[in-house]
Amino acid sequence: MSCHSNCHASQGPQWLRKPSMPDNPTVEDLPKEELTAVVEVPEGPVVIQTVAPIPVTDLKRKFTEEVEFHISIDNSRLKDAALITYLSNLNIACRLKFGDAAMMQNLLVAYLKSTVLVSIGDLEELAINVILAATGKPFRLPFDPQPFIEANYELVDLWLRRLDSLPLYALQCKAELKEDVLNYPQDEDETLVGLNFVKLIAHENFPLVCLGIEESDYNWNKLFFNEYCFAGSNLFAFYAHKNNPYFMALIGQEAPEQFAVLTENLRQKVKEIEHVPSA
């Protein structure tokens, strides 16, 4: 995301008032000891270009202003799993800025392995496109996914297994069908690794993920199906979303007219996605 506006020196750190700095500094322009820049946008949140950990004076602004933190990963002291945990605890609006492709992929691996729920749109975007690439569907990634998938085969396969369980969760949600879930293989891996798969359900490309999940791939996971293991929420809290075709099918059983409209919208969305070239 590019922001074009003037920095307000009176509200920034001391170095912003130095005449030698450019009017709209970026993280790359800043002295290493103070990696923060503030860009105020006419409409929308104040963008704070920074590093992790975020300076406390800047972090406090989230309590009084609408802010979005743009974090330079290359210049941050916190990396990989430590950064994931840090951002999970903060629960802030942020964007991740990468310069080094290796750092991007290392952070993605940490995200796929994470056992803490976190909302980071840039990592969700990378994750869903790796899943699309792994299943032979159109994708958009800034790197060749094949070597990444091969190097992290077991981890990607675990995420696919988590996602393959979602059709059965629709049965879990219906009292009269719940017992039918037991007729399918159980995924006995009850670790929390990969629990951020639920974050992909709300993604606009999730219907494309669902295409091609065969009944032979269905499985169920006792932990994810029954426990409030998603930061105090259960799976249904994420499952109930308009981008989830399986949830829309549940709605259709109760309100066929509404479902017909939603289904057509999803069908059109999938057609649009299918025509997006892989990058």
**pLDDT tens-place string over residues 189-230:** 989 999 999 999 999 999 999 998 999 999 999 999 999 999
Given this model, what pLDDT does residue 270 score?
52
Given this model, what pLDDT does residue 257 score?
53
Given this model, what pLDDT does residue 41 score?
62
Given this model, what pLDDT does residue 25 score?
44
Evaluate if residue 27 carries a pLDDT over 60.
Answer: no
Return d(Cα 76, Cα 226) in angstroms, integer: 38
**Do 194 and 256 belong to one domain?**
yes
Taking only the tens place, the pLDDT of each residue in 235-268 is: 999 999 999 999 988 876 654 455 455 555 555 6
- Domain for residue 112, yes or no? no
Say if residues 245 and 266 touch (Cβ distance below 8 Å): yes
**Do 160 and 269 belong to one domain?**
yes
- Domain for residue 268, yes or no? yes
Domain ranges, residue 66: 9-97
Say if residues 136 and 109 touch (Cβ distance below 8 Å): no
**Do 90 and 166 belong to one domain?**
no
- Domain for residue 75, yes or no? yes
Q: What is the pTM of this model?
A: 0.79
**Do 155 and 236 belong to one domain?**
yes
Given this model, what pLDDT does residue 269 score?
54
- Domain for residue 123, yes or no? no
Average per-residue pLDDT for the chain: 83
Taking only the tens place, the pLDDT of each residue in 77-123 is: 999 999 999 999 998 999 999 999 999 999 999 999 999 999 999 99
**Do 160 and 252 belong to one domain?**
yes
Given this model, what pLDDT does residue 175 score?
86
**Do 155 and 263 belong to one domain?**
yes
- Domain for residue 121, yes or no? no
Sheet holding 94-97, edge to edge: 37-39, 46-50, 67-72, 94-97
Say which DSSP state 182 is in: G
Residue 22 dihedral angles phi and psi, to the nearest 5°: -70, 160
**Do 73 and 15 belong to one domain?**
yes
- Domain for residue 270, yes or no? yes
Closest CA to 75 of 23, 32, 17, 136: 32
**Domain end (from 97, 131, 162):** 97
**Stretch 156-176: mean pLDDT, rounded?**
94
The count of structural domains within the chain is 2
**Do 159 and 77 belong to one domain?**
no
Classify burial at 136, counting beta carbons within 10 Å of its beta carbon; exposed 0-12, middle 13-18, buried 19 or more. exposed
**Do 70 and 151 belong to one domain?**
no
Q: Are strands 46-50 and 94-97 parallel, antiparallel or unpaired?
A: unpaired
**Domain end (from 55, 74, 97):** 97
**Domain end (from 65, 97, 129):** 97
Taking only the tens place, the pLDDT of each residue in 54-72 is: 999 999 999 999 999 999 9
Strand partners, 72: 97
